[in-house]
Amino acid sequence: MGRIIRAVPNLFTLSNLCFGVIALVFIVNHLPLVATLLILCSALCDLLDGKVARQFKVISEFGVELDSLADVVSFGVVPALQLYEAVPHQLVSTLALLVFPVAGALRLARFNTHPTIGYFEGLPIPAAGILIGLSLWIPALHRFVPVLALLLSLLMMSKLRVMKF
């Protein structure tokens, strides 16, 4: 029974990753806005994996690393590719495609090696990824989304203190 309980948070994390992979399929099939709904599903799984791990007192290094890998896909690669598909290809959208997931990965690596208590250092990648996905639902914002992605990339890598909820 203990093994099953220890596996539950990782099942939520793997669900986060699966939603991210399915979102990529929608993007390559030219349905980038549908991917936003899957990013939100990923976010719910990301929220639950941590809550369940703390509730059952089964937090592990493996779970933390797995969570970061899933987050890079669901909240880094997916929104970057989603942006690239939705916004006409320009230099700035190509730059955002590259910079956004890299900034998210760097932010996660810093968090994993230097965890903080009570706050995040830098904007968390789920928040940045959700903002990109939601902003693409407003066509009037499309030409500004690549710049938003670059700004969010800077905020993820910054030393800005963001309160944990």
Range of the domain at 32: 2-163
Tell me if 13 sits within 8 A of 70, measured CB to CB: yes
CATH number for the domain including 134? 1.20.120.1760
pLDDT-derived band at 1, boundaries 50, 70, 90: low
The mean pLDDT of 43-54, rounded to a whole number, is 95
Asked if residue 3 has pLDDT above 80, the reply is no
pLDDT at 31: 95
CA–CA gap between residue 95 and residue 3 (Å, rounded): 44
Q: pLDDT per residue over 82-132, tens digit each?
A: 999 998 778 999 999 999 999 999 999 999 999 898 999 999 999 999 999
Return the higher-pLDDT residue of 102 and 7. 102
pLDDT at 6: 84
pLDDT at 165: 75
Domain count of the fold of the chain: 1
* N-term to C-term CA, the chain: 31
Phi, psi (deg, nearest 5) at residue 90: -130, 170
User: What predicted TM-score, i.e. pTM, was given to this entire model?
Assistant: 0.94
The mean pLDDT of 2-22, rounded to a whole number, is 92
Percent of the chain with pLDDT over 70: 99
Three-state DSSP class for 60? coil
Q: What's the chain's average pLDDT?
A: 94
The neighbour count for residue 140, using CB atoms within 10 Å, is 6
